[in-house]
Amino acid sequence: MESPLEIFRRHGGQMRMSEALAEGISRYMLYSLRDKGLIEQVTRGVYRLADLPPIGNPDLVTVALRFPNAVICLVSALAWHGLTTQVPHEVSVAVSRSSRTPSLDFPPVRAHKFADAVFNAGVEEHQIDGVSVRIYSPEKTLADCFKFRNQIGMDVVLEALKLYKSQKKFSPGAVLEYAKLCRVDKVMWPYLEALL
């Protein structure tokens, strides 16, 4: 019979409580493993083996584990892609309009509801510490930032656009496609044109 630690290893070292219960690990056993220091609680309902290397990006990993359908967006996505000098004080996530708004004690999360077509466009999957994290592409993130420019600040948006242009993958056409989808193409076009 497989030990609880072997079950954790089979799951990449991290499990939600619901997954552990489905695998036959009782709540009592989880708490016992935690109290013995064999596993650690990442956030409410999420556990990982204590002997795993430290989490490199704990905020994004925690949010992805708790809200697997949410997508990292705006300044949090800019930071991931290296398109800002800002340090996000919260994790910005996009959720579908029909979804419930995620809330978490730590890290602080700010949810933005997107229409389904906009929500599903430009999603990339990145593996961070063995966890699949959904993050918008740089081009989609720039379009979203223009849409939310009054909330995040135009200086942040313009800095991101300049940093994006300095990257090798500069693709104004792709940015403009997402801008049309987000209905900010007319606002964004003069800034893109100035960079060309």
What number is the average pLDDT over the span 40-55? 81
Question: Which pLDDT value is given to residue 144?
Answer: 92
C-alpha torsion sign, points 153, 154, 159, 162 = positive
pLDDT interval class at 134 (50, 70, 90): very high
Residue 118 in this model has a pLDDT that exceeds 90 = no
Please return the burial class of 131, using the count of CB atoms within 10 Å of its CB with bins 0-12, 13-18 and 19+.
Answer: buried
**Bigger pLDDT: 14 vs 25:** 25
CATH number of 58-195: 3.30.460
What number is the average pLDDT over the span 97-114? 78
Q: Where are the domains of the chain?
A: 4-49, 58-195
CA-derived radius of gyration, the chain: 19
Question: What pTM, to 2 d.p., does this model score?
Answer: 0.72
What number is the average pLDDT over the span 78-98? 85
